[in-house]
Amino acid sequence: MSASWILSANSWMHTPTGFEAGANNQYHPLNWLDIIFNPSFPYRLLHMVTAAYLTTAFVVGGVAAWYLRKQRHLHHAKIMLGMAMIMAIFVAPIQIFLGDLHGLNTLQHQPRKVAAIEALWETQRGAALTFFALPNVDQEKNNYAIEIPKLGSLILTHRWDGEVKGLKEWPKAERPPVTAVFFAFRIMVGIGLLMVLTGVFAIILNVRKRLFETKWFQSWCMMMTPMGFIAVLSGWMVTEMGRQPFVVYDLLRTSEAISPVLGENVLLSLISFVLVYAFVFGAGIYYILKLIKEGPKVTEKEEKHLYGEHGVQHPVLLSDVFKGLKNGRGVHA
Ligand code: HEM
């Protein structure tokens, strides 16, 4: 519920609907349903909530891999890794699909953002997909570009010769900061592909019955632990820097939205925020790391319930984890 409201408010600033402009450029609501369910809201909600689940799954998977490497809490670690891999196999590809839909919606409502994402300067039919480049904002071109012809149009318009608008369509003062948006997008998508690759590795190792034993895969999962957070931050950089120089797309410039508040007051509240958050996050991270270090505590009674009377039977395959989840126990005993 909380994600819905905050994302609805945020999405309205990207794709404003359901209002009228009154005197003094003040906007008045006309239809609250149009405001809440504005065009980018469903895509942003699905993409962000899925991002949060994936981020969590990769943290759980990373901790599990660390336990397996240390030969601690083996039983729980296998279930944790199994559940994380079920997410990587099924949910990471869904996230790419949702990202694609989100991008199509952005192209429709915020074409300048997409031009910055692609560092596309000229309006083109059959636009190339730029894997890597150093956007040169002064000369309005890309240096050292590595491109695949026509793929950009195919992904963005789902047609080989679809037209994609370039940044030169808009005056310089209306363009987002291209370089940051371009790279942030590639980091997010790159991590999405690594998440899918993790799922592919998991399927192959599962077929070989080596999912819970393979050392390099444990290192890989440990390396993937913070990736969800990095993807989420990069995604938000794309979204928020990509709408610049507007705070409400095409209606209110960021420079016009500045409140008449003294710089000193802003600095003071910023310092307070930094201090409070440093404390809250610091305490939270300390506590989470402590919990991870201790690992799960299981009483004798719980152990019997989890593992059955005849001793521990570790999961070997992902299907064991599935069955264990289905019958409400830690494992198929
Ligand atoms: C791999 C394929 C992906 C594609 C094609 C994709 C596409 C997009 C697009 C186009 C936006 C900007 C939308 C806008 O501002 O209008 C965006 C934002 C975002 N992305 Fe992705 N994304 C992908 C993967 C991921 C992954 C793996 C995560 C995190 C686990 C993620 C998290 C986010 C977040 C948090 C935002 C900002 C909120 C939002 O606008 O939805 N994305 N993504």
In a domain, 126, yes or no: yes
Å from CA of 238 to ligand 1 middle: 8
Average pLDDT for runs of 10 along the chain of length 333: 94 96 86 97 98 98 96 89 96 97 95 95 92 92 91 90 93 95 97 98 95 96 98 98 95 89 92 97 96 83 62 72 64 44
Report the SS3 class of residue 331: coil
User: Before 245, cis peptide (omega within 30)?
Assistant: yes
* pLDDT score at 158: 86
* pLDDT score at 201: 97
In a domain, 316, yes or no: no
238 lines ligand 1 (CB under 6 A): yes
Look up the pTM and report it: 0.91
* pLDDT score at 280: 97
Q: Which domain holds residue 208?
A: 2-258
Q: Which helix (H) or strand (E) holds 248?
A: strand 246-248
* pLDDT score at 304: 64
40, 44, 47: residue to mutate for ligand 1 pocket, most atoms within 8 A of CB: 47
The angle formed by the CA atoms of residues 10, 123 and 101, to the nearest 5 degrees, is 40
In a domain, 24, yes or no: yes
In a domain, 136, yes or no: yes
Residue with tokens 């491109």: 147
In a domain, 80, yes or no: yes
Total structural domains within the chain: 1
* pLDDT score at 324: 67
* pLDDT score at 332: 43
In a domain, 72, yes or no: yes
In a domain, 314, yes or no: no
In a domain, 244, yes or no: yes
* pLDDT score at 1: 86
Cβ-proximal residues to 72 (8 Å cutoff; 6+ apart), any chain: 295
Å from CA of 231 to ligand 1 middle: 8
